Structure 1
Amino acid sequence: MSKKLMSVFALALLAATPATAAPFCTGGDWGSGGIRISGGIRIGTIDSDDRHEINLMRLRRIGVDATRAEEWNGCIRAFVRQPGGGEIMQFFDPNTLEQVY
């Protein structure tokens, strides 16, 4: 097999390989704005910075050593400190706070 043909075959094989899928979550219940209390009463509004801070506090409460959290692809994307130093990105379901892989 010639080198050119092998190169074309290798590129075709690489292009046919599926990419690693990004985590996807169904999303939390932030769409309506404000906090809902039974009976449909709404108090104030919550902007994206507030949601990020609330999600960060929720993750810290369950023991995730996150430095920041944001909404991404329906998930909570958190940057989590590692014991040996540095941070890694982890994804969590906004409803259950289970880690999404």
Structure 2
Amino acid sequence: MSRIKREKETIDLMIKIYCNKKHKSKKNELCNECKELLEYAHKRLDFCKFGEEKKFCSKCPIHCYKKDMKIKIKEVMKFSGPRLLFYRPVQVIKHIIEK
């Protein structure tokens, strides 16, 4: 699986966890705010100038997120990151090894 596809799957799951717990959305459904964030994140990944050589966003020299979206995605990651261990433990371990 390509790195971009893996990143998209991870951010999908993180936003779903966040929306489900914080916005009380139904399982596998997103509120409008979270849909917008997910679409934005996918768009940023699609147009990442580093492509498959991409590093983690936190290590990237180019910060391509708009300020408001950057704040939102950080909040999602901070909330959902630790919870990923319960949803996809193997994916979390791979992520830690890559980092």
Task: Tell which structure's C-alpha radius of gyration is larger.
Answer: 1
Q: Which structure: greater strand fraction?
A: 1
Q: TM tier, shorter chain?
A: under 0.3
Higher RCO (CA 8 Å, separation ≥ 6 residues): 2
TM-score relative to the length of structure 2: 0.28
1 or 2, which has the higher helix percentage?
2
